[in-house]
Amino acid sequence: MLITNIGELTTNVPIGDDRCGTLTDAAVLIEDGFITWVGQAADAPAYAEVVDAGGRAVIPGFVDSHSHLVFAGDRADEFEARMTGVPYAAGGIRRTVTATRAASDEELRERLAALVAESARQGTTTLEVKTGYGLTVADEARAARIAAEITPEVTFLGAHVVPAEYADARDDYVDLVTGPMLRAVAPHAKYIDVFCERGAFTADEARRILAAGIAAGLIPRMHGNQLGPGEGVQVAVEMSAASVDHCTFLSDDDVAALAGSNTVATLLPGVEFSTRQPYPDARRLIDAGATVAIACDCNPGSCFTNSMPLMVALAVREMHMTTAEAVWAATAGGARALRRNDIGVIGPGKRADLVLLDAPTRVHLAYRPGVPIIERVYKDGVVIA
């Protein structure tokens, strides 16, 4: 299939200073789910099946590298309370744990499928999904198994919070996470994650948990520096984590550590939007040379949206990123955060994951916030939305 007459094509194959590798009047050839040729429409090879983009823009599919979508229950009441001034607290996670444990496999599967379909309609072609609302061996293994049915990007987050029944025995819970729970979940997961924050896990606990995950063959990632300053970023860099996510409260040392590492700083501006917190300082990270990704962090507590176009708009409006930086961070940046080099880029040999916008340029993602301009979504060359 040849997609031709693309008014603006974001390839993410750098051209000089343009990291987005922007082409105008472009075409993309897709064969067997992969991209086999990219260039000027006028130079395109003849092909039987032609899709005319009508001068519209095409971008790589969004790579949403952070979500918590295996859950039951609803916490809209917490959101309402926050809007009247009640601060977000990690403790709310335990409410979702109670609801999730009580749900059937079928209910969890149906809710997950509905959220995945909703993401796809908004241009997401790769989605990471975390466990973390089971917090027993059986419930974490179940969450990972269900997540693995829809994505290869599954993260074990048994270290989300210490569950209520271990409130007076947190060391025993860390033993459980690093022992029997890890053994039960690892076959279904690619990554291990820890919520390293006051009210969740300490830096030393995070080190122990990530080390156990690495020993079990998982790639480390981290929730860090979300609710206040802390050691999350330093531990993530020290453990060569693929990504440290949130990065809302950073010291100069944290920024320098990220800039000197291959750990991606994943910013989740939907959380600040939904918890009314100050946004992370994306400019400081980018200007220091850190690799920045943006993702949704869709979850029932701190941010219940899976709209990557909204994240792009927030990154531009609230975090002072250029639209080019934001779109790169939501596609190629997410791919780096997942250590994937087959997605996030429109170039020969890459997977044919791309989004046709009902707009002439990618700037419209930020320029027209809240407007459904995602016209068509291809994953592996197949229309999924």
Q: Which residues are annotated as a binding site for Zn(2+)?
A: 66, 68, 223, 297
Site string (13-52) toward ligand NIG, x via CB under 6 A: ----------------------------------------
CB proximity list for 20: less than 8 A, separation 6 or greater: 10, 11, 12, 324, 327, 328, 362
Residue nearest to ligand NIG (CB): 301
139 binds Fe ion, rule: CB under 5 A: no
Nearest CA to 311 out of 301, 325, 81, 23 is that of 325
272 binds Fe ion, rule: CB under 5 A: no
Q: Nearest 5°: CA angle at 63, between 348 and 15?
A: 45
140 binds ligand NIG, rule: CB under 6 A: no
The residue among 191 and 195 lying less far from ligand NIG, judged by its C-beta, is: 195
What is the smallest separation between the CB atom of 190 and Fe ion, expressed in angstroms?
A: 16
The residue among 271 and 338 lying less far from ligand NIG, judged by its C-beta, is: 271
299 binds ligand NIG, rule: CB under 6 A: yes
Nearest CA to 188 out of 302, 303, 70, 100 is that of 70
223 binds ligand NIG, rule: CB under 6 A: yes
What is the smallest separation between the CB atom of 271 and Fe ion, expressed in angstroms?
A: 8
Residue 301 contact partner, candidates Fe ion, ligand NIG, none, CB within 5 to 8 A by sort of partner:
ligand NIG
301 binds ligand NIG, rule: CB under 6 A: yes
Size, binding site for Fe ion by CB under 5 A: 1
What is the smallest separation between the CB atom of 88 and Fe ion, expressed in angstroms?
A: 12
Question: CB-hemisphere CA count at 13 Å for 3?
Answer: 31
What is the smallest separation between the CB atom of 85 and Fe ion, expressed in angstroms?
A: 23
Give the interface segment with Fe ion, choosing from 14-22, 41-49, 293-301, 325-333 (CB under 5 A).
293-301
Of 64, 140, 205, 297, the residue at the interface with Fe ion (CB under 5 A) is: 297
The residue among 8 and 297 lying less far from Fe ion, judged by its C-beta, is: 297
List strands edge to edge, sheet with 243-246.
129-130, 154-159, 191-196, 219-224, 243-246, 264-267, 292-294
What is the smallest separation between the CB atom of 63 and ligand NIG, expressed in angstroms?
A: 17
Q: Please report how the helices 105-121 and 137-148 are oriented relative to each other, as an axis angle in degrees rounded to 10.
A: 40
Q: What's the full length of the chain, in residues? A: 385
As annotated, the binding site includes 66, 68, 75, 133, 160, 223, 226, 297, 299, 301-302
Question: 370 exposed, middle or buried (CB, 10 Å; 0-12, 13-18, 19+)?
Answer: exposed
The residue among 178 and 302 lying less far from ligand NIG, judged by its C-beta, is: 302
Give the interface segment with ligand NIG, choosing from 53-61, 203-211, 295-303, 361-369 (CB under 6 A).
295-303
Find where tokens 């009047």 sit: 25
Outline where the chain has alpha helix (H): 76-83, 93-102, 105-121, 137-148, 170-176, 182-185, 203-215, 232-238, 252-259, 269-275, 282-288, 308-317, 323-328, 334-337, 364-367
Kind and range of the H or E run holding 39? strand 34-40
Find where tokens 């990557």 sit: 308
Dihedral, 241, 245, 251, 257 alpha carbons, nearest 10: 20
* Residues paired with 4 in a beta bridge: 52
The site for Fe ion (CB under 5 A) is made up of: 297
The site for ligand NIG (CB under 6 A) is made up of: 68, 92-93, 96, 195, 223, 226, 271, 297, 299-302
